[in-house]
Amino acid sequence: MILTQELGKASDSQDQGPHYGLDVKRHDVSSISAPELLFDNKSDTLSQECVALCTDKVILSYDLVRAGLEVATPRGANKHKILRGTGIFDDAIVPDMQISVGQYLAFLENIRSQTKGHDISFLIGSALAHSLIQKGVGYPLWSQTQPDASQCLVSIFRFLFYGNETKWRVFPLVFFREFNVSNKCIFIAEVNVDSSKLAQFILEIGLCALVALLKHITGKRVPLRYTFRVVRPRHIADFETHLGLHSAFQAPLNSVSVDTNFSSFELGDFRSGILHT
């Protein structure tokens, strides 16, 4: 179902559950139209982050750069050509490296344009998630204050989408707003990049990393639904393989949503204490 139709069916009731220490702006969307969701100029979390992005944000880039090179070079890309024009030097690729937004965009654009295959973004996302899991970066120890599996799972989304350090490892340049529609938790994503092709590439990397991290934490493939602004691609099989079967295209908004009726999940399914920040 098209996301705007889902938004039109929003309930007046809103879950007021705990935010687990995260600064999350949540919305009742019953009276909000789709354009307002993206073009609200009020002083909110999204606009503040976009301003901060243009001034002082740097990206914790080691895992991303390493994942990008590991995926691209076997596909015919030349490492030195990928790094050319980025300001990233081979000897600077160290665990504590940080790069600017411009360097990040130049690096990914070089990979996107120089590497063969339509699944590169998804493979980079999977490699990024694996690197983060190996390092133990991700969701913190589970808390006794999380009463059920649904709140645990939604709180993982919030941590990855809003948590400061992890957000800038997995979803740099992507900003999310959370909406509760009926029994769905919908996160609308805005990619703060001018190029639509590069914006989609960045979003695919993050979403594939999200899928891999959720599977590692829960031990299961969490069923998610996506909407994308782009035209339905010919290589739809790559989306189905890496993200699942529920992707809609030519939508007015980019989004990822999860059903909050987690009947197939129990609190014991979650692997406690495996990821730290």
> Using one digit for the tens of pLDDT, what is the confidence trace for 70-105?
999 998 889 999 999 999 999 999 998 999 999 999
Main-chain phi, psi angles of 50, to 5 degrees: -65, -40
3-state secondary structure of 27: strand
Give 219's pLDDT tier (boundaries 50, 70, 90).
confident
Locate 239 and state its tokens: 């989306």
Strands 98-99 and 224-227: unpaired
pLDDT of 3 strictly over 70: no
For residues 69 and 148, the model is more confident at 69
The proportion of the chain whose per-residue pLDDT surpasses 90, expressed as a percent, equals: 42
Q: For position 262, what pLDDT does the model report?
A: 57
* Top-confidence residue, 227 or 40: 227
- Contact between 226 and 246 (Cβ < 8 Å): yes
At CB < 8 A and 24+ separation, what contacts does 163-166 make? Answer: 163/22, 163/277, 165/60, 165/137, 165/277, 166/132, 166/137, 166/138, 166/277
Higher pLDDT: 222 or 119? It is 119
Q: Dmax of the chain from CA atoms?
A: 55
pLDDT in tens, 13-43: 333 333 323 333 444 433 333 333 333 333 3
Q: What is the mean pLDDT of residues 38-56?
A: 41
The predicted pLDDT at position 88 comes to 94
Q: Check whether 256 has a pLDDT greater than 90.
A: yes
Strands 59-60 and 247-248: unpaired
Pairwise pLDDT comparison (154 vs 132), residue with the higher score: 132
pTM: 0.77
**Model confidence at 137, in pLDDT bands (50, 70, 90)?**
low
pLDDT-based confidence at residue 147 (cuts at 50, 70, 90): low
The pLDDT score that the predictor gives to residue 191 is: 93
Q: Which residues contact 237 (CB under 8 A, 6 or more apart)?
A: none
Whole-angstrom Cα distance, residue 1 to residue 96?
A: 43
Structure tokens at 245: 């079967």
Distance (Å, whole) CA 146 – CA 151: 6
Radius of gyration of the chain (CA): 18
Residue 183 Cα distances to 14, 258, 262, angstroms: 10, 9, 10
* 186 token code pair: 């919908």
Q: Which amino acid is at 236?
A: I
Q: Which two tokens stand for residue 142?
A: 């589970």
Residue 84 neighbours by CB distance under 10 Å: 13
208: confidence class by pLDDT, cuts 50, 70, 90: very high
CA pair distance 256, 259, nearest whole angstrom:
11
- Mean pLDDT, the chain, as a whole number? 75
Tokens of 98: 């940080």
